[in-house]
Structure 1
């Protein structure tokens, strides 16, 4: 975004700041252009997956508005409640299924964010509160009826899972790379796109040989630096796995992708990196190869780190920092609560 300088002559002459109501039409027009350029600049710097998600959410809102005869920019408490009702009966990806509650909740967020940022609507902070209350009530009724929608939350990829995968992976370039992806994904509690966009320069050796320093520059929330110490189990140690992959792949270009594609025929290392979706596919294939009882996805290592850290008795704030969650994140707290059912149970010491 290019820098712009506005110099109202009146303000310079009098030395007193002008009120917005006193701005000339020319200044107002220039400020409007700056606002528009700023919005485009922010959008251009968002991760592609986030942009596409918001676009899909707003597209769904446009279809809803057209069907019920509402102006597209009529985003209100009441219309969002109607939107939930409309989304609830929309078909899912598979024939005979309906949209999952998490998808509907994400669409609510996408509509509100797009309304504020793209269309400059002055929407209150609690505008979607009633819509989410309705969605919560629908989920309760769905659970009572034994109905299932969507795949549910990603299962946690735990240490015992990774040990089985490590034992099953072949000792070739694909196996060495996939082990490094899996263990690094877990160690930094990463998102798929964060792993996909890592460059060689972003993974540095600690000067005192305590492990790795991983600079996650591209993130949905904010960049962060994560230290990855040696693991106590050599087979799934992220430090050793990265070194083995780096040597086997001959990585020696600072700006090159840390995790590369392999040629489909010759199985040689290519210069192109992996897409976020491909990173998720690697985790799922690892689960299949290890014959796990779960079907891990690209979110499973992130959830797994939180679960295992909780079991080890670590402060939750450490996991928040590792994975780039906001302080007191409800999403991360939900991961811990699932495992707390075993640790904090009314039957302990009873039977």
Structure 2
């Protein structure tokens, strides 16, 4: 929605309702104008969120609407009890809504259900303006946790599981198998910079050439991540100790392929013509970036199947192994201070680093 739609005309006729029972109430006409502005503001903010976030929230809310129809509940009935019932309902639903002529798919993964809880609560607060307690989904998540434990006990599997971490040893193998052409130069720069900034796929997809600049003191790159799921951030990328995996050197080689007169407003990572190997104008979308990582991982014969989230997990893992504080990785990848998600990435790999057997055997 254009910003102009959010403009407010200040009128000297605006007045408070006489005898209002609480401050801040206005006459009905003014209240109607303010309500319209509230809804326009919500729509405007929503329109400026990353497409992947909007799509995810829309999918979560559609699942909630299907549940409400099934349970004969109004959509605004977002309560602790209804969210518990929503988890129970989601647990028995396929990952995708059933369609005529299509066989039922896998049951919904626990991570998807957990995300749906967040999506429903966030949408109810923003779109319906509901004042919900911070712990409104606490009991629902407790039920989900119990179901996951029982699922693991029964040997049941759901979903593809978390993305594996792309580690330095994996990137070593990938770099050795990349072709010596523009595809290889681009893919090496994409992979190493993706890892260096602990980026999300859409963050890499929206980077412009002007967003990646050389540090004035020659220490590496300064990457301005303007489009992000959480908040924009600036990431410093120093030179790597391994020249063949250095994100600074890899970016310089790829930028040279873009040409001396490259438009600074053009996208940093773009498609390459399959036959002529010329760099095209259209950018790589987030899905394609994930597909590239999967493809180059398969070519290298890795013991994992990397996805677009693997470099993000990989940096946290390698940074933890190097002894860096959590706050360093949080700042690099744009996690909120004290992020539980980021710490789960680290803790999954801490079994050898923090072990009760150290100094014992």
CA contact (8 A) 2:94 2:108 kept: yes
Asked whether the 8 Å contact 2:14–2:30 carries over to 1, the reply is: no
- Tell me the distance in 2 between the aligned counterparts of 1:88 and 1:226: 39
Is the Cα contact below 8 Å between 2:291 and 2:308 reproduced in 1?
yes
Within the candidate set 19, 23, 39, 1:19 is matched to: 23
What aligned pairs does 1:129-148 form with structure 2 within 5 A after superposition?
129-148=138-157
8 Å CA contact retained: 2:312, 2:333: yes
Q: Encode CA deviations 1:152-180: one digit per residue, 9 max, x unaligned.
A: 11111111110110001001111110110
Give the Cα separation in 2 of the matches to 1:19 and 1:8. Answer: 19
Partners of 1:173 and 1:249 within 8 A in 2: no
Give the unaligned 5+ runs of structure 1. 13-17
Deviation sequence 1:72-104 (CA, Å, 0-9, x none): 221111111111001001113595521110000
Q: More displaced, 197-206 or 313-322?
A: 313-322
Which of 25, 32, 36 in structure 2 is aligned with 1:33?
A: 36
Aligned counterpart, 2:263: 253
Aligned mate of 1:120, from 114, 129, 150:
129
Q: Of residues 80, 89, 100 in structure 1, which corresponds to 2:92?
A: 89
Q: Tell me, yes or no, if the aligned pair for 1:192 and 1:280 is still in contact at 8 Å.
A: yes
- Write the distance in 1 (CA, Å) between the matches of 2:214 and 2:355: 42
| Other-structure match for 1:170 | 179
| CA–CA separation in structure 1 for the residues paired with 2:111 and 2:350 | 22
Return the alpha-carbon distance in structure 2 between the equivalents of residues 146 and 42 of structure 1. 43
Contact 1:234 1:240 in 2 (8 A): yes
| 2:317 paired with 1:307 | yes
Say whether 1:194 aligns with 2:198: no
Distance 2:14 2:264 in 1: 52
Counterpart CA distance in 2 for 1:242 and 1:41 is 35
User: Which residue in the other structure is 1:15 paired with?
Assistant: none
The answer to whether the Cα contact below 8 Å between 2:64 and 2:120 also exists between their aligned partners in 1 is yes
> Is 1:5 equivalent to 2:9 in the alignment?
yes
1:8 Cα offset (Å) = 4.3
Aligned length: 345
TM value normalised by structure 2: 0.92
Distance 1:20 1:327 in 2: 35
Aligned-pair distance for 1:7? 3.3
Out of 286, 289, 312, the position equivalent to 1:276 is: 286
Counterpart of 2:340 (choices 315, 330, 334) is 330
More helix by share: 1
Matched, 1:182 2:191: yes
Alignment of 1:48-67 (within 5 A): 48-67=51-70
